[in-house]
Chain A
Amino acid sequence: MSEEKKQTIKPVRENRTSLQLIINVVLIALVVLTYTYGWNVTQIDLSKLAAPSDGLKGLVGDLFHPDIVARDRQSYRAYRTYLIPCDAEHQRAGAVGEGISIMPDCGNIGDIVTIAGEGLRPNTSGTIAWRTQQGGTKILAQIETDDNGAFSFTTRVPEAPPGQTVGQHGSEVILRWEEGTLRMSETAKQVLAKMVETIFLALMATTMGVFLAVPISFLAARNVMATTRLGLTIYFLVRLFLNILRSVETLIWALIFIVWVGIGPFAGVLALTLHSVAALGKLYSEAVESINPGPVEAVQATGASRVQTVIYAILPQVMPPFLAFTIYRWDINVRMSTVIGLVGGGGIGFLLIQWINLIQYRQAATAVWAIVVVVATMDYFSAWIRKKVV
């Protein structure tokens, strides 16, 4: 029985197969053509990946070297005079005093002098400079104090510019060190301020988005609106409006709002709000449309108004999905708010793009790490909330 069937079917199949074959070949050719063109038009060049530039090495290095902490800078300065030439008071005795001494304390250019220090901050580096009476300064050497806070340096009195060779010269020692507790670097302070702005940008946009999207979602729900002809018209218009809003990306909206209200976080808030309204409006309205109509009818039947029906029969049903969608949107907005600054919409992205353009990779790395930490924390946080409430 089955054998016979196969035999009668076979020739038909073969016809089909040859046609199918042609179609398949054409299809494969089209696919190959498409991807070949795509490869070229996007300038894919894998060899570039294999031979990283110096810039990349710097970038990767700095990525693990972010500019986060610093200590207070302290310095110590001491000065002793050296008279050229000696006079009655200065008899090559040496000027001993607090901090440093200079032996002898008068003489001529080219004489040997010893500059020494005692009781200074131990193991601290600094510089020794020679100054003329007129203020000309020459760095003589880098020094480092020993465990007891002492140093000694012998040199010749350096040549001075013409006209500055006599008078009250002197030696200046400056020690510099970092002291005190670790504190945030300037970069970290900037990043923190912008990160706060970023999070609030997401918060404002999400909140405003939710407040606008909730009423709109009821207007965009068929089961709520389709009771009258006017309602149905509003439903279609609101749907159309949401679809148009959603088809434009957040960054594009940011660029438009920057033209409108200027560069800054307000433009970012507006852009994120608009996109949140569009996305949440659709998700919310789908939740409204999938509710159980029974309670709605029951409340309507008691003589309740439309708004009362929404509050008593629809809202309790859509609360869990609304919450879930809101948390999901919050996650997206936190992410988006970190990049909206790239186009000038406020937040951390503004600093990031600025530092990258200035090749300040250590600073850029600080911003990148801040983004990673904040986004990961927020993800964790919203997962926790989701677990609690949904």
Chain B
Amino acid sequence: MLLEIKNLTKTYDDGTQALKNVSFTLSEGEFVVLLGLSGSGKSTLLRCINRLVEPTSGTVLLNGQDVTAANGAELRRMRRDIGMVFQHFNLTRRSSVLRNTLSGRLGYNSTLRSALGIWSQADQQRAFQNLSRVGLLNKAYSRADELSGGQQQRVGIARALMQEPRLVLADEPVASLDPVLSHSILKYLEDLNHEGIAVLCSLHIPSLARRYATRVLALNDGNLMFNGLPEELDNERFKEIYGQDAESLED
């Protein structure tokens, strides 16, 4: 089992219960889509997995190793195996595309070398390969903020690939993009999934889930309401997840 989440609970300092006793597993090769209304706890769940958010209780096991108990260097080593792609891309806007891409490799490099901006030939090679893979080789030396949204998200994917991850967490990777670009980005995720990297991707458009997911999870107010195949997501289930006022599955 690649990822095993057991009784994960998160209560924020202000008392908000964002996750309530969530448990599920995720195997190699899966493309799992996480659905739920905004505020249902999707981001919190994804961030608890790599400990950007500190879980209140529960455990996260990655390859049987306890992420929640790890600290310092151990946690950083575990994070190397988990790539992350963000809704707002989260690139360092004033740095070059290449430097943003290379930053995905920081976990493998000593602080001193990377502080001085010294990168091995192999890492540079890897960066160019990953940029070429997302079709941005010619933008390597552009400043990140000169790129369009879709291009920036592709840099985000290249950065995640630099980690040589076993799992990629994608937090609404297409929500700030033009709908026509959604498929382009999700296809990159699908490609790397076919190469053996597991994907856990939150989306708020169910139709996209049915197109890409091998399995669907759904959160409602911090509770895991659904864990099954995309085909099982019928209208009844849909209303459980999105509330009685939700109109239809098709959008």
Contacts and interface: CB of A to CB of B under 8 A. Distances in A.
B114 A295 contact: no
B242 interface: no
B68 interface: no
A305 B82 contact: no
The DSSP consensus for interface residues of chain B is helix
A191 to B, nearest CB: 44
B145 to A, nearest CB: 11
Contact of B94 (A303, A304, A307, A319): A319
B154 interface: no
Interface string A250-290: 00000000000000000000000000000000000000000
Interface stretch (B1-9, B101-109, B208-216, B225-233): B101-109
Given A297-B52, A311-B114, A312-B103, A303 B88 contact: no
Nearest to A319: B94
Contacts of B80: 302-303
A299 B160 CA distance: 10
A294 B90 contact: yes
Contact of B76 (A297, A305, A319): A305
A248 to B, nearest CB: 34
Interface in B64-95: 76-80, 82-84, 86, 88-95
Contacts of A294: 86, 88-90
B106 A304 contact: yes
B163 A312 contact: no
A303 B163 contact: yes
Interface string B149-162: 00000001001101
Given A295-B92, A302-B79, A302-B104, A308 B114 contact: yes
B115 A308 contact: yes
Given A303-B163, A305-B111, A298 B50 contact: no
B82 A301 contact: yes
B91 A299 contact: no
Nearest to A296: B90
Contacts of A292: 93
Interface residues of A, number: 21
Contacts of B106: 299, 302-305, 308, 312
A295 to B, nearest CB: 5
A298 B114 contact: no
A298 B76 CA distance: 13
Contacts of A312: 92, 95, 99, 103, 106, 114
A128 interface: no
A303 to B, nearest CB: 3
Given A294-B86, A301-B79, A313 B92 contact: yes
* Residue from the set A294, A300, A304, A307 with the largest chain B CB neighbour count within 10 Å: A304
Contacts of B93: 292, 295, 316-317
A165 to B, nearest CB: 92
The DSSP consensus for interface residues of chain A is helix
Given A305-B76, A308-B115, A311-B114, A316 B95 contact: yes
A320 B88 CA distance: 22
A299 B163 CA distance: 11
A184 B82 CA distance: 71
A295 B90 contact: yes
A304 B82 contact: no
B111 A302 contact: no
Contacts of B105: 302
Nearest to A294: B90
A301 B114 contact: no
Nearest to A301: B84
A360 B159 CA distance: 69
Contacts of A302: 79-80, 83-84, 103-107, 159-160, 162-163
A222 to B, nearest CB: 14
B84 A298 contact: yes
Contact of A307 (B90, B99, B111): B111
B111 A298 contact: no
A300 B92 contact: no
B107 A303 contact: yes
Contact of A311 (B76, B83, B115): B115
Given A295-B92, A316-B95, A317-B92, A300 B52 contact: yes
Interface in B18-64: 50, 52
Nearest to B84: A301
A298 B50 CA distance: 11
A144 B199 CA distance: 105
B94 to A, nearest CB: 5
Contacts of A313: 92, 103
A295 B76 contact: no
B107 A298 contact: no
A390 to B, nearest CB: 13
A308 B112 CA distance: 9
Nearest to A300: B52
Interface of A: 292, 294-295, 297-305, 307-308, 311-313, 316-317, 319-320
22 contacts: A295-B91, A298-B84, A298-B103, A298-B156, A298-B159, A299-B103, A300-B79, A302-B106, A302-B163, A303-B76, A303-B80, A303-B108, A307-B111, A307-B115, A308-B109, A308-B111, A311-B114, A312-B99, A316-B92, A316-B93, A316-B94, A317-B94
Given A302-B107, A312-B92, 9 more contacts: A292-B93, A294-B88, A295-B92, A297-B86, A298-B84, A302-B162, A304-B107, A316-B92, A320-B94
A-B CB proximity, top 9 nearest: A303-B107, A294-B90, A304-B106, A298-B90, A303-B79, A303-B80, A301-B84, A303-B76, A295-B92
